[in-house]
Amino acid sequence: MRAAEALAPTAEPNVTPLIDVMLVLLILFMLVTSVTQRGLDAALPAPPSDGPPDPTKPPLIAVRTDSVDLDGRRLSTIAELESEPRDVLATRADRTVFLRVDGPVSYGRAVEAMDVSRAAGAGRIGLVGRSHTP
């Protein structure tokens, strides 16, 4: 009986073809993901020109620790920011507003200025760095 048991076939799965297929699929997925491009839609302001100021230029809101400026005019509170740009944005097709944070302003104050600008009718809010002005 021992000789018959030694010659009996064993039923074990052959995993070598499965490993080959999985390796090929892994390489294909790695190639496909590295070829696809990922991007972020961003509306960047145009570079400053040396000519006269453009009357259709979007309003610039500068947020500081003690005040808020709208196109160079100082406002005492952020609440005033809701009524000021509403008149300007009502006549424009492009309701973009640029926001710049000057100095060590808290994150909450900057978000509050964005919320008030959105309530005033701003469709898009662009963030401007310190060295750039739209």
- Mean of pLDDT over the chain: 78
Average pLDDT over residues 84-100: 78
Q: Which helix H or strand E contains 107, and what residues bound it?
A: helix 107-119
Domain spans of the chain, in order of start: 60-128
Task: Check residues 105 and 85 and name the one with the higher pLDDT.
Answer: 105
pLDDT(46) > 70? no
Residue 106 has pLDDT above 60, yes or no: yes
Which CA distances in Å does 127 have to 3, 17, 22, 58, 99? 83, 54, 46, 12, 5
Task: Report the C-alpha gap between 5 and 54 in whole angstroms.
Answer: 94
DSSP-derived 3-state class of residue 91: coil
Annotation: CATH topology of 60-128: Nucleotidyltransferase; domain 5 (3.30.420)
User: Quick one: residue 38, left, alpha or beta (phi over 0 = left, psi -120 to 50 = alpha)?
Assistant: beta
Lowest mean pLDDT among 40-49, 74-83, 105-114: 40-49
Residue 25 has pLDDT above 90, yes or no: yes
